[in-house]
Structure 1
């Protein structure tokens, strides 16, 4: 079983751990089509290539800047692993960005370049989710999100999704065909392996009858009022009393995903560091929850460290939360 990786340099601001596995339980996918990217504040990077860990150093990476991401290649569309690998490798070439707009410009270019790269291959164009955080030195994190992987804030208020899934139910919500309750039930109360947009693949938001090449950004202007606070590309304000989980959808591909994810605050409570939290997340999915479907599993935990006048990072203990 691949180990949890936590030997990164993100202090004194963050504690980071990541792991990617082919699946959980006796029935698993034939290969791991997920991926991840970590570039720490010293420019040390890692991602998966051929399902194996590849470490490198990003030349010219500015000191104090970081980048983390999870990706879920779409195997049903062919070349899912290769698509996720191509985007992961591409993220190592994107320069450090200090604004959401700058990051989006670079990723739009990468999206178009990889569409051209895969255009000559047979079969349907591949795709991958991409949920990432850019961590500028001394600045607030920047979110960039495409697909149905997610970013969660796990803290006193529970396990709160900070991203909107790019799925048919969201397209229906944009068109006013379903309300907030119906959207939540379809997206968080059950799990369906359908997607309306992915990196490289393109989007079905612009025209549901036709796959469009560009990526369709969900913004406060086009999202319904009850989702408009969760645009795809934005600056994040992180809480010191919470931890942040970037994960692919294998972690909620079960019969009652909202109930399973709702247990994460109590599950992570008291963990001494990000690596221990990640071990608990993988341990819970190994149990497994009722109705778990075979899928790849990738998760990254980012734990903000308490900032003090002497810049000493103190140990963090998640609050103990109870669920009804």
Structure 2
């Protein structure tokens, strides 16, 4: 497992750390197809390349600006790791953004470029590749910007609560958007059970429309198309964060089991009173030492962030 904090400087206003491993379970994956990106306030970056941590310096990076992202490559479609790695390389080239519209436009354009590149040999696969992307863009002194596609998640963890701040792009969400599932049914399907299907991914495209056929563009989910009980969780928005919470960006290997709610319910106690690095290590150690019942073997990647009062807004 890689637990990464050293060599990154997020200043006095943010504490952040990253962890990733091939996973646990009865039949561990042959490779880690997840990825992540952390760019600190001095332009120092760390991510995975060929499943190993790699560091670089981002040129002309604004002082104090931070980018944090988790990516889960779709192994079932072929070239999942490569799609996640290509997305990270694109994120390293994307200029720092200070508003949601600019961030969304830049990432949508990156999606289109990568989609075109993977349509050409030798990367072409029988099923088009894709990756999740859950990203926080944080300008100094400003509230974080969220961009989300796929079924990785952003969680807000306090000493006694767990709140999910993103909506999974999965068939159950599409059914809810069409009025075929109510809130209780949706929550059971998405957070109470494990279903590995996905309806939208970065590079891949979306199957969210009425025909549920794969289309190339990404479709942003927001108050205009989500059911009322999810309307406040738009994929692309400004986040209001708290200084008494840990924010976890995580790939779905952590809840790919028979009782996902029981796993996530352990996190407040594991994070209480800890730094980002300590919270991350505690969650990984707990999960790997006590793999949950009915675990579906998958890669595990998580970023942990804690904000200081000068950055957080409530």
Q: TM-score range by the shorter chain?
A: over 0.9
Question: SS of the counterpart of 1:251?
Answer: helix
Does structure 2 retain, via aligned residues, the 8 Å contact 1:29–1:296? yes
Does structure 1 retain, via aligned residues, the 8 Å contact 2:3–2:17? no
Shift in CA distance, 264/113, structure 1 to aligned 2, threshold 3 Å: same
Q: CA deviation at 1:137?
A: 1.7
Shift in CA distance, 259/208, structure 1 to aligned 2, threshold 3 Å: farther
Shift in CA distance, 25/209, structure 1 to aligned 2, threshold 3 Å: closer
Q: CA RMSD in A?
A: 1.3
- In structure 1, the residue matched to 2:144 is 141
TM-score (norm 1): 0.92
Shift in CA distance, 156/277, structure 1 to aligned 2, threshold 3 Å: closer
- In structure 2, the residue matched to 1:278 is 280
Cα offsets for 1:124-175 (capped at 9, x unmatched): 1100000010001221100000000000000156110000000000000000
* Correspondent of 2:226 among 223, 227, 250: 223
Is 1:170 equivalent to 2:179 in the alignment? Answer: no
Distance 1:184 1:92 in 2: 35
- In structure 2, the residue matched to 1:49 is 49
**More displaced stretch, 153-162 vs 137-146:** 153-162
Distance 2:110 2:140 in 1: 23
Distance 1:97 1:157 in 2: 33
- The within-5 A match list for 1:145-294 is 145-156=148-159, 158-271=161-274, 273-286=275-288, 287-294=290-297
Distance 1:203 1:213 in 2: 6
- In structure 1, the residue matched to 2:119 is 119
Could you tell me which runs of 5 or more consecutive residues in structure 1 were left unpaired when the two chains were aligned: 309-324
Q: CA deviation at 1:307?
A: 4.0
TM-score (norm 2): 0.95
- In structure 2, the residue matched to 1:315 is none
Q: CA deviation at 1:114?
A: 0.4
Shift in CA distance, 252/48, structure 1 to aligned 2, threshold 3 Å: same
Could you tell me which runs of 5 or more consecutive residues in structure 2 were left unpaired when the two chains were aligned: none
- In structure 2, the residue matched to 1:298 is 301
Question: SS of the counterpart of 1:226?
Answer: helix
Does structure 2 retain, via aligned residues, the 8 Å contact 1:19–1:299? yes
